[in-house]
Amino acid sequence: MPLPKVNAPTFELKLLSNDKTIKYRPFLVKEEKSLLIALENGNDKDVIATVKEVLKSCVISRGTKIEDLPSFDLEYLFLNIRGKSVGETVDLIVTCQDDGETTVPLTINMSDIQLSQEEDHTDTIKLDDNLSMKLKYPSYQTFIDNNFLMKDVEDSDRIDKAFDAVVDSIDQIYTNDEMWAASDCTKKELLKFIEQLNSKQFSEIEKFFSTMPKLQYKGKVVNPKTKVESEVVIEGLANFFA
């Protein structure tokens, strides 16, 4: 049987979450077509599912499970794949911060978009002198559920969803002597544990999510009307392609 034909160049990328280097190829016109169709349909669920399918096809390294990668790694990966497939720049229209209404075109080089991580970010939450909790990053599925499929969720359900997201992100709970892996606990047990936390402890968990690595571009634009220079900060994959 003949060996498969390699018909696209391959590139390497180091993932931030685990320092693992993965190999990928650019997407092809047929995959671009699928993405365009999903985007033009305007259904977030379709967009995310299609992006995931394309990522699965483009990642060549064995043993890389797209569903298990944290959302920021996936965003960074997709950004790089898109760069090698379509072009290394992205054209945006941004609003000048000084008057909040004048819009200017901005061309961003993909290499200027970085995964930013706040210095005080930690995945270990100290609940008290003896008890700590280790959190894991939300996976792509959690990211989809929490960020894209919440549009029609009632406020009361939103709180439940937030608790669910925290429960899904618990990796282990431990004291100086004992350790409980979240995988060995039921969701009900974990939820009960979370409900015992006070607001200060809960805000520490919130901080984990808010300081999580994210795609970020920082640049400057000059307002053509006022000639005032202002800073532009763009975060998150969706905003680069808004």
Partner 1 sequence: MMYHVSVESMMETNFSLMQFHKWSLSDIENLIPWEREVYVKYLVNYLEKERLEAQQRQNASI
CB crowding 54-85: b at 16 or more within 10 Å, else e: bbebbbeeeebebeebbbbbbbbbbbbbbbbb
Cα distance between residue 220 and residue 15, in whole Å = 28
Q: Which is nearer to partner 1, 91 or 101 (CB)?
A: 91
Shortest separation between residue 186's beta carbon and partner 1, angstroms: 40
Query: From CA 124, how far away is CA 136, in angstroms rounded?
Result: 9
Closer CB to partner 1, 40 or 160, in the complex: 40
Nearer Cβ to partner 1, position 36 or 181?
A: 36
For the CB of residue 75, give the shortest distance to partner 1 in the complex, in Å. Answer: 13
CB of 241 to partner 1, least distance (A): 4
Q: Which is nearer to partner 1, 39 or 106 (CB)?
A: 39
Query: Closest distance between partner 1 and the C-beta of residue 12, in Å?
Result: 17
Q: Which amino acid is at 106?
A: L
Which of residues 92 and 162 has its CB atom nearest to partner 1 in the complex?
Answer: 92
* Residue partners of 213: CB distance under 8 A and separation at least 6: 16, 72, 115, 116, 117, 121
Q: Which is nearer to partner 1, 33 or 218 (CB)?
A: 33
Q: Are the C-beta atoms of 26 and 85 separated by less than 8 Å? A: yes
Q: HSE on the CB side for 118, CA within 13 Å?
A: 10
Q: What would the two tokens of residue 154 be?
A: 């009632």
Question: Which residues form the interface with partner 1 (CB under 8 A)?
Answer: 7-8, 26-30, 32-33, 35-37, 39-40, 82, 84-87, 91, 241
Are 44 and 148 spatial neighbours (Cβ–Cβ below 8 Å)? yes
CB 28 to partner 1: min, Å: 6
Can you tell me which residue has the tokens 């409900």?
195
Find, among 63, 52, 56, 53, the residue nearest to 20 by Cα: 63
Least Å distance, CB 229 to partner 1, is 27
**């497939």: which residue's tokens?**
85
Q: Is the separation of the CB atoms in 70 and 137 below 8 Å? A: yes
Q: Least distance from C-beta 158 to partner 1, angstroms?
A: 28
Q: Which residue lies nearer to partner 1 by CB, 30 or 188?
A: 30
